[in-house]
Structure 1
Amino acid sequence: MSDFQLSGIYVYPVKSLAGIRVERWQVAPTGLLYDRKWMLVDADGLFLSQRKLPRMALIKTALTGSELLLSAPGMEPLALSLLPAGGEWIDVTVWHDLCRARAVSGTADLWFSRFLGQDCRLVYLPDQSIRPVDPHYGSSTDHTAFSDGFPFLIVSENSLAVLNQEMGLHLAMERFRPNLVISGCAGYEEDSWREIRIGSIDFRLPKPCSRCAVPTIDPETAETGKEPLITLNRTRKWQNKVYFGQNALHDRCGELAVGDRVQIKTAGPKQPPL
């Protein structure tokens, strides 16, 4: 019997903007409710992220019962409906996926363009727009919103503790943008998990998460450093990519809460095989 627990839940309403830490949250067909249902795109409909625009990290998000609230240094707060009505249909691209999304509003576009110093548009993924997960890793019923590819990213507290010890730093979990954080297990123990249950919801972990430069961006200042990529390249590199955390798919909707018990149903060889 494990003493593993769900110790953190993070929702990211707008892809690549600051997230929200919550104590309890609903799980929808695409992942956590409202998680990455909005996204910024350029004039060609290509998604924008902190990889290109580190200042995106400075835009804070909040959710009320009816609104998405946005704030940023030097900007008046912006409130948007959680259920955008109408809006022009736009073809948008997230990595290799082409999706049909709706434009939110000209007001939102101007707000973001002014703060980021680049013309951009805010789009929303309606429920009728289905974005399947890569069939190599999921089933025909698995889909996600505007995440990089999977509904959930799972990281354990002790994996970050090990990495911080190796770096001699104290980077915050927020840099790694997980959805679910697990306590009680050994560092990188999640590498061997294949099927787990958190509370009453079962998850499959088909693929480790390869990391880009986003974790090098300080979420409070938007300044970019060299860590954790230097240390990950030394300790977590496989086939020319570095890995930290596990992508996950859920088998049902429901609710998650901090403190939920985590059960390991199936384990296997470590992924990546380090």
Structure 2
Amino acid sequence: MTVDDPLNLVLALATASTIKYIGASLWRLKKLAKYEFVGKVTALDLYPAKSCGAISLQSANCTRGGLKHSGVTDRHWMVVRDDGVKVNIQQEPKMTLITPSIHGNKLCFDAPGMPTLKVEKNPKEDPSLYVDCKPKVKAMTAMNCGKEASEWISKYLGIKGAYIVVSTENMAKRDVSELVPRPWLNVPETTDKVTFSEVSMCNIAFENSLRDLNSRLANPVSMGNFRPNIIINGSLAFDEDNWLEMRIGESVYMRILEPNPRCLLITVAPDGKRDPNTEPLKTLRKFRKTKPYGDSPLFGVNTAIDREGIIKIGDPVYVLRKPVT
């Protein structure tokens, strides 16, 4: 081998790498050029505990685990029965009246007629407190928040033996690919994980879609019935059916995994009252059902986060549409 051979090899590899980098960059720029502006963020809501109240925010860290603020991540706490099965607002509507707040290193919960419950927002992992729980069908391991929290939630709900669990940052999460059997052109990736939410790291709903729905209702409902993390205004009603990806601001990118199939949970208003006529579910079923989802009408979208970052109210929203077939 001559002296020039190693040099030529290095130059060839460097050239190939440069060409590959330029090609990837051009592909990204071409893709970015296809994004179109559709509206702006009008609300950000963090739900620390599944089926409980929200903390309304001006800005939040949009992470792969969900919205995060001051060390608290969306739906990382959950109420369960003594057998580990979740309790939700369909069974206990007054859970919506449990109001969360963050004070220092504590996550606090208030409820009518109850003293404030304070739990550690970043508890130290203790294997002796590990329990199996069922946020949906498949069981996962979480950590019991302790006796005081158990007594508090049991008394408020009137459910003997109920307790609160938390999934700490390092505990195993659920694989979204096992939870989304009907991919929305975007097949879930192995890095897509959720804790106690149904399938989505971040649930998004749209004001004009709600206006369309409310125009069909005798008694309009609020966005609180749907419990989204991000609310967007500006897009046409249900135009989200045609979207593939989203960008919020200049840094956060997300894939739409599927539309959000709805159930009886949306018949419970934020004030804890259940609609006697099963609205708005009844009306949604008249015009928002599609075959793969059976009797579950669609409202909003479930997303997976590809690039994390800070988002805030007023941020512009851009979308990449599905290819026309």
Asked if structure 2 preserves the Cα contact closer than 8 Å seen for 1:89 and 1:100, the reply is yes
The 1-side partners of 2:283 and 2:229 are apart by 23
Instruction: Verify: 1:60 aligned to 2:99, yes or no.
Output: yes
SS at match of 2:43: strand
Asked if structure 1 preserves the Cα contact closer than 8 Å seen for 2:224 and 2:269, the reply is no
Instruction: Verify: 1:161 aligned to 2:211, yes or no.
Output: yes
The 2-side partners of 1:268 and 1:172 are apart by 33
Deviation (angstroms), 1:63: 2.0
Match of 2:304 in 1: 249
Instruction: Verify: 1:20 aligned to 2:55, yes or no.
Output: yes
Deviation (angstroms), 1:268: 4.6
CA RMSD of aligned residues (A): 1.7
Aligned-partner residue type, residue 231 of structure 1: T
Higher-helix-fraction structure: 2
TM-score of the superposition, structure 2-length normalised? 0.79
Instruction: Verify: 1:134 aligned to 2:184, yes or no.
Output: no
Match of 2:286 in 1: 234
Q: What's the % identity of the aligned pairs?
A: 31
Instruction: Verify: 1:113 aligned to 2:154, yes or no.
Output: yes
Q: Work out which of the residue numbers 44, 50, 63 in structure 2 matches 1:9.
A: 44
Instruction: Verify: 1:209 aligned to 2:246, yes or no.
Output: no
Moved more, 183-192 or 134-143: 134-143
Asked if structure 2 preserves the Cα contact closer than 8 Å seen for 1:193 and 1:266, the reply is yes
SS at match of 1:251: strand
The 1-side partners of 2:46 and 2:192 are apart by 19
Aligned-partner residue type, residue 309 of structure 2: G
Taking a change above 3 Å as real, the CA distance of residues 103 and 189 of structure 1, as seen in their structure-2 partners, is same
Aligned-partner residue type, residue 287 of structure 2: T
Moved more, 107-116 or 62-71: 62-71
The 1-side partners of 2:295 and 2:190 are apart by 30
Match of 1:102 in 2: 143
The 2-side partners of 1:9 and 1:202 are apart by 16
Question: How many residues in Structure 1 have an aligned counterpart in Structure 2?
Answer: 270
Aligned-partner residue type, residue 107 of structure 1: E
Deviation (angstroms), 1:98: 1.8
Deviation (angstroms), 1:21: 1.5
Q: Work out which of the residue numbers 211, 222, 239 in structure 2 matches 1:172.
A: 222
The 1-side partners of 2:132 and 2:98 are apart by 25
- 1:102-153 per-residue CA deviation (whole Å, 9 max, x = no partner) reads 1111000000000000031100101222222125541001111210111111
The 1-side partners of 2:211 and 2:66 are apart by 26
TM-score of the superposition, structure 1-length normalised? 0.93
SS at match of 1:134: helix
The 1-side partners of 2:216 and 2:59 are apart by 32
Instruction: Verify: 1:29 aligned to 2:68, yes or no.
Output: no
Aligned-partner residue type, residue 281 of structure 2: L
Deviation (angstroms), 1:64: 3.0
The 1-side partners of 2:233 and 2:148 are apart by 42
SS at match of 2:246: strand
Larger radius of gyration: 2
